[in-house]
Each structure stands twice: as structure tokens, then as C-alpha cells.
């Protein structure tokens, strides 16, 4: 027995079925959210007409719209301590005896590491 699957597109604006081969799909992105519309020819023409004003004043981008926008600004990077367990334990012990609150596990705040290093120069 043969099976035949029929896909019927419906216009997203008016809900009417679109004749075979005439569906026009539009994908656009606004505020980082990508939208998709399936429209029949008459509504597709109206959609293009509505966008004409905005398209003429917009700057065309060559990059893929689904990519993340380029990062702007800078973030201060802290040096990291890739110390041994013994080194980290020594920093924690020193910090606790000098009044710093540090956890027994996890990241040691950079200011505590800086103070430890300054005290041991």
C-alpha cells in the first residue's frame, strides 16, 4: 500500500489555505527574536509594502541574523590561581586567621589572593 502525505499551508494573517506552490515564508528578527510567517501572495505583497519604509532606512547586515551580536565593551579579567590543593588550603588558612571570610570550597575572591600574595613577598 502506498502512502501519500499532503502538506497544506495556511496564511498566518487571515487563516485561509494557500494554493499549492504559492506559500511564501518570511523569516525576520527583531530584538534578537526570530519570527516566521507563511503568507499567500496577496498578503506577502502587503507585508513587503509595509516593510519598505523600514528597509529603506535600515542598514543591511552581512552576517547571519541568527548569530549573536558582536560583544561590545570590555570586561576586567582577573588573574586566576591554578594552585595545588596545598596552596589553596594555605591561602584559606591565612585568610581565616586574618579576618577574611572564605568558604572551605569554591573560588577564593581575588582580593583575598592579592592580599595573601602581598603578605608573602
Q: Would you kindly state where each structural domain of the chain is located, as residue ranges?
A: 9-57, 85-119
Please determine, looking at this structure, whether the domain spanning 9-57 carries the CATH number 3.30.60.230: yes
What's the per-residue H, E or C state across the chain?
CCCCCCCCEECCCCCCEECCCCCEEEEEEECCEEEEEEECHHHHHHHHHHHHHHHHHCCCCCCCCCCCCCCCCCCCCCCCCCCCHHHHHHHHHHHHHCCCCCCCCCCCCHHHHHHHHHHCC
Say what the pTM is. 0.47
pLDDT tens-digit series, residues 72-119: 555 544 455 556 888 888 899 999 999 988 888 888 888 888 888 888
pLDDT tens-digit series, residues 9-52: 999 999 999 998 899 999 988 888 999 999 999 999 999 999 99
Q: Domain 85-119 carries which CATH code?
A: 4.10.320.10
Amino acid at each position: 500500500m502506498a502512502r501519500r502525505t499532503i502538506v497544506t499551508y495556511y496564511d498566518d494573517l487571515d487563516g485561509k489555505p494557500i494554493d499549492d506552490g504559492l506559500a511564501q515564508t518570511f523569516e525576520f528578527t527583531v530584538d534578537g527574536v526570530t519570527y516566521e510567517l507563511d503568507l499567500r501572495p496577496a498578503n506577502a505583497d502587503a507585508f513587503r509594502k509595509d516593510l519598505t519604509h523600514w528597509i529603506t532606512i535600515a542598514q543591511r547586515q552581512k552576517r547571519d541574523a541568527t548569530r549573536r551580536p558582536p560583544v561590545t565593551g570590555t570586561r576586567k579579567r582577573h588573574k586566576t590561581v591554578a594552585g595545588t590543593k596545598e596552596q589553596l588550603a594555605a591561602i584559606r588558612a591565612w585568610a581565616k586567621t586574618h579576618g577574611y571570610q572564605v568558604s572551605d570550597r569554591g573560588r577564593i575572591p581575588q582580593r583575598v589572593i592579592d592580599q595573601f600574595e602581598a603578605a608573602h613577598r
